[in-house]
Chains A and B, each alone.
Chain A
Amino acid sequence: MTTTAVPATTRKDWASDQEVRWCPGCGDYSILAAVQMLLPELGVRRENTVFLSGIGCAARFPYYMSTYGMHSIHGRAPAIATGLATTRPDLDVWIVTGDGDALSIGGNHLIHALRRNVRMTILMFNNQIYGLTKGQYSPTSELAKVTKSTPFGSLDTPFNPVSLALGAEASFVARTHDMDRQHMQEMFRRAHEHDGAAFVEVYQNCNVFNDGAFEKITGREARSAMLVPLVHGEPIRFGKDSEKGVVQRPDGRLEIVDVADVGEDAILVHDEEREDPGLAFALSRLSRGPYEPTPIGVFRAVRRPEYGASMAEQLADAQERRGVGDLKALLRSGATWTVG
């Protein structure tokens, strides 16, 4: 809108005057900090930035940002964002959501926003529990989880959010966690740069209802052995001395091996731009839960027409071919007759 240079800002400029009301020790604090510290680096304007959310602990996020924002209704943020992003391509639209909001009540809106590739940056805080309603299992909770609503253990097979997003034709899918600000910021930056719907799963600790859910993989001691960083163009290796790696077997299966056993050249090189999402899908299923080596990073980043831009093109094209709509002509577009 304005052509003047983007004013320099600091973290403080992006924080609202509202008191943050998450439980002390909640992983959401570090995510909020990561976002507020990243925004000054993105060269964006506060007035052109919108944070949208649905319902849940994560959904309070917009109140803590000094941008435009809307705390809407449960699960519907991607639908609301679709209307906003397609009519206002000048805006940066961020969605902050949780595992219940995005994958349970809002599952339908999420998958359709992803397949349409509407420009929006979706940060999904996954804590594998319902926090705001005080501790029921969520669609990402592990099978047999004992919670208030599942005293005998949950019977639901959980969603793998990255697999789901890839299956929904998402053009950008990443995973990060709340214990690593730098990695979070890198993922958020990449997601924000993406021209289309970008989905980032953030492993987030709910220290009240599901404390330590990711401790075995994101804890400082565990990380090197349990997090498998995905770097575009690089062999997929991890471990303290990068001694572990991922190989693809002739039947397509991915397997974790000792690099020493197979040789460096046998290690799978990560390609986030592969048109076929099959390999990214296989990577998303390398671990069966947050207690096995788990890939983090960008699983997939491909270019696909952005929905709002395509919509705008159709409008421009119609106006070029037919001229800007004339109401008088519209009313006379059917057969007319004159009396008197």
Chain B
Amino acid sequence: MTTTEEHRTEEHPREQRKISRVVVRFAGDSGDGMQLTGDRFTASSALFGNDLSTFPDFPAEIRAPSGTLAGVSAFQVQIADRDVTTPGDVPNVLVAMNPAALKANVGVLEKGATLVVNADAFDERSLAKAGYDANPLSDGSLAAFTVYEVPMTSITQQVCKDAGVKPRDAERSKNFFALGLVSWLYTRPVEPTIDWIEKRFADKPLVREANSRAFRAGYHFGETAELFEASYEVGPAQFPPGEYTQISGNQALAWGLIAASKLSGLPLFLGSYPITPASDILHELSRRKEFGVRTFQAEDEIAGIGSAIGAAFGGALGVTTTSGPGVDLKSEAIGLAINLELPLVVVDVQRGGPSTGLPTKAEQADLLHAMYGRHGEAPVPIVAAKTPSHCFDAAIEAVRIAVKYRTPVLLLSDGYLANGAEPWRLPDVDLLEPIDPAFATAPNHVDAEGTSVFWPYLRDPETLARPWAPPGIPGLEHRIGGLEKADGSGNVSYDPANHERMVRLRAAKIAGIARDIPPVEVDDEAGDAELLVLGWGSTYGAIVAAVRRARARGHRVAHAHLVHLHPFPENLGEVLARYRRVLVPEMNLGQLSRLVRAEYLVDARSLSKVQGVPFRAREIEAAIEAELGGPA
């Protein structure tokens, strides 16, 4: 690094411009390592102290035919010297590794954007595969952009040659060349990436050498080739003091579950069937056996939740994770858990539907399924995470509710949160609230003959929760099941009045959780807003950004974001009544808006987007302006 600095100042004094933020999008073939490239750029930016937000955007196919539009994989990241809440509406810089990547992404660029392309990949064959009749690098179609044509493949092969790396293998390292070049362009530190390469490829010396050489070559290319007139610096952001790490939603969710296991003293059991984009939670938990975490890759989605219910019956923290069609398959077992009244967390990392839908894309269209997707009157609490790092808190909250109220809880994340990353100020784990499993320890009822007996459905008068009595305690032997129970004794009962009583008790138990959750907070700086933007889940970042911009233009806008979707916070009705207009942006056809309309009789307007990609802040901003009658 020192030599590089000297190099720059002594031989090639180059202007370094300070900018406040930049949005970079890396795009290439599925096999080109774009996710890795974006992830490393993000990691070094995080260590540098930028605020950031990422958006990995990849196809469902592991490797679609190379060079085709279907195979394009992209990673977008916004880095800034101030608080950012989204990965950026449009990229300022597009790195395109081949013609298909250019074609798939050039449409979103705005005039003046920077394009860095791998010139080597723009041969006739690749152009044809991408559907280009003429070479866009020479036909003038990119005139609105600043285009840098860099022979990434050939330089990478060149620098790897005398390290004994074959050209074919060296070609695979070209993503590190791109990373090096963009790292120079935005003055990223070099060491974190070099260190990472050293560690990651420790046992593959040739790959390590090739990647490391390619990365340095890219960095030096930026510096020495008289191509770039300046490099840019995005300074560190002002963060509250503390220790930070970079975290994705799936990782935060997995860690939240481990934390909840510690807080409750309940051993964690995950029953899961691999499914995109939830599998990384299974992967992460499978690595953490020193926490006593049992992960079970089940034969199917049903066995995933079934095993978690079995573990919960035995007194463990039972969790199942899934997405898309997996949620449908779990419906029957969720109904069982509702009737058994056992703690259980069902994690739904939402993706585009219906059916197989869009496996790698995000959607928020499972809210009504979470609410109503079972036969019979079968209410469950619903908790939704709003940012990648918030998945940690949301997981703990889901466990808290599940354990305290002896109920399955639906924890909603989505593909955007799951794979997106952001800096996270580490919480002080000593300050997290313990969770009391409050196991039953003794008989709780005296029968007609005066004998002390255990009634598994004798409820706590306040929470309406039933006792949790895992096997092992003499005198508490009991049988539970999916058949309707007699109130109290839990024996099978087909009595009509008893059934209605039990239906109402189960509903009242879930409704009562409203008293045990925080009121919804409203961000309404001046308290004079005309419009409330009400959101839930991963739209948080885009809404925050949109509301800031609208306010900057003089609009009076408030924002409230729901973490608890069922039951709603107690104050929600009163909050909604305060505003003349309510706008609900959702990545579905208006599911939360329908719920609040039904519940509170308010004219909540829906702003829908179901494209598998998150809202852009400007789309929400435009809707705010439309509601409030144009620019203020």
Contact = CB atoms under 8 A, between A and B. Distances in A.
A287 to B, nearest CB: 30
B357 interface: no
A83 interface: yes
22 contacts: A47-B473, A63-B479, A71-B483, A72-B336, A79-B299, A79-B303, A79-B310, A81-B310, A83-B271, A83-B309, A83-B312, A84-B314, A87-B310, A88-B316, A315-B290, A321-B290, A324-B290, A324-B292, A327-B262, A334-B245, A334-B246, A334-B247
B269 A86 contact: yes
A88 B246 contact: no
Interface in B210-252: 239-247
A91 to B, nearest CB: 6
Interface in A75-98: 76, 79-88, 90-91
A1 B315 CA distance: 14
A232 interface: no
Q: Which 7 A-B pairs have the closest CB atoms?
A: A340-B241, A71-B481, A83-B310, A79-B306, A325-B291, A83-B307, A318-B289
B340 interface: yes
B121 interface: no
A328 B259 CA distance: 10
B147 interface: no
B300 interface: yes
A69 interface: yes
B296 A318 contact: no
A335 B245 contact: yes
A83 B245 contact: no
Which of B271, B314, B429, B471 gathers the greatest number of chain A CB atoms within 10 Å?
B471
Interface stretch (B41-49, B155-163, B536-544): B41-49
Given A66-B477, A80-B313, A328-B429, 12 more contacts: A46-B474, A71-B482, A72-B306, A73-B333, A82-B271, A83-B311, A83-B313, A84-B311, A88-B316, A108-B300, A319-B290, A335-B43
B22 to A, nearest CB: 20
Which of B310, B474, B483 gathers the greatest number of chain A CB atoms within 10 Å?
B310
Contacts of A55: 482
A328 B300 CA distance: 34
Q: What secondary structure prevails in chain B residues at the interface with A? A: mixed
B553 interface: no
Nearest to B306: A79
Contact of A76 (B303, B470, B473): B303
B413 to A, nearest CB: 19
B202 to A, nearest CB: 17
Which of B239, B291, B479 gathers the greatest number of chain A CB atoms within 10 Å?
B479
Interface of B: 43, 46-47, 49, 192, 239-247, 255, 258-259, 262, 267, 269, 271, 288-294, 296, 298-300, 302-303, 306-316, 318, 332-333, 335-336, 340, 425-427, 429, 470-483, 491-492
A330 B310 contact: no
A109 interface: yes
A321 B288 CA distance: 12
Contacts of B47: 335, 337
Contacts of A331: 245, 255, 426-427, 429
Given A47-B472, A63-B492, A330-B255, A339 B294 contact: no
A324 B261 CA distance: 13
Contact of B303 (A82, A91, A311): A82
Interface string A306-337: 00000100110111011111011011101111
A338 interface: yes
A85 B314 CA distance: 8
Interface in A44-64: 45-52, 55, 62-63
B246 A335 contact: yes
Given A87-B316, A335-B246, A71 B476 contact: no
A83 B308 contact: yes
A68 B290 contact: no
A48 to B, nearest CB: 6
B383 to A, nearest CB: 21
B296 A82 contact: yes
Given A47-B473, A88-B471, A108-B300, A73 B336 contact: yes
B299 A109 contact: yes
Given A73-B333, A335-B246, A68 B477 contact: yes
A130 B470 CA distance: 32
Nearest to B238: A339
Interface of A: 1-2, 16, 18, 45-52, 55, 62-63, 65-73, 76, 79-88, 90-91, 108-109, 111-112, 311, 314-315, 317-319, 321-325, 327-328, 330-332, 334-340
A311 B294 CA distance: 7
B243 A67 contact: no
Contacts of A338: 242-244
Contact of B296 (A72, A86, A108, A330): A86
B308 A46 contact: no
Given A68-B471, A319-B292, A80 B306 contact: yes
Contacts of B335: 73
Contacts of A321: 290
A80 B482 CA distance: 13
B289 A315 contact: yes
A305 to B, nearest CB: 16
Nearest to B340: A70
A330 B477 contact: no
Contacts of B303: 76, 79, 82, 108-109, 112
Contact of A90 (B240, B472, B480): B472
Contact of B241 (A73, A111, A317, A339): A339
A70 B456 CA distance: 12
Contacts of B478: 68-69
B308 to A, nearest CB: 6
A84 B290 CA distance: 20
Contacts of B480: 69-71
B309 A80 contact: yes
A325 B302 contact: no
Which of A52, A82, A314 gathers the greatest number of chain B CB atoms within 10 Å?
A82
Contacts of B288: 325, 330
A88 B240 contact: no
A79 to B, nearest CB: 3
A84 B306 CA distance: 10
A135 B291 CA distance: 50
B294 A86 contact: yes
Contacts of B472: 1, 47-48, 88, 90-91
A9 B556 CA distance: 75
A70 B243 contact: no
B482 A79 contact: no
Nearest to A109: B303
B255 A340 contact: no
A302 B491 CA distance: 40
B243 A337 contact: yes
Given A63-B492, A91-B314, A72 B241 contact: no
Which of A47, A52, A111, A332 gathers the greatest number of chain B CB atoms within 10 Å?
A47
A159 to B, nearest CB: 18
A84 B242 contact: no
Contact of B306 (A18, A62, A83): A83
Nearest to B453: A17
A199 to B, nearest CB: 16
Contact of B294 (A1, A315, A327, A328): A315
B310 A323 contact: no
B341 to A, nearest CB: 12
Given A108-B300, A325-B288, A335 B46 contact: yes
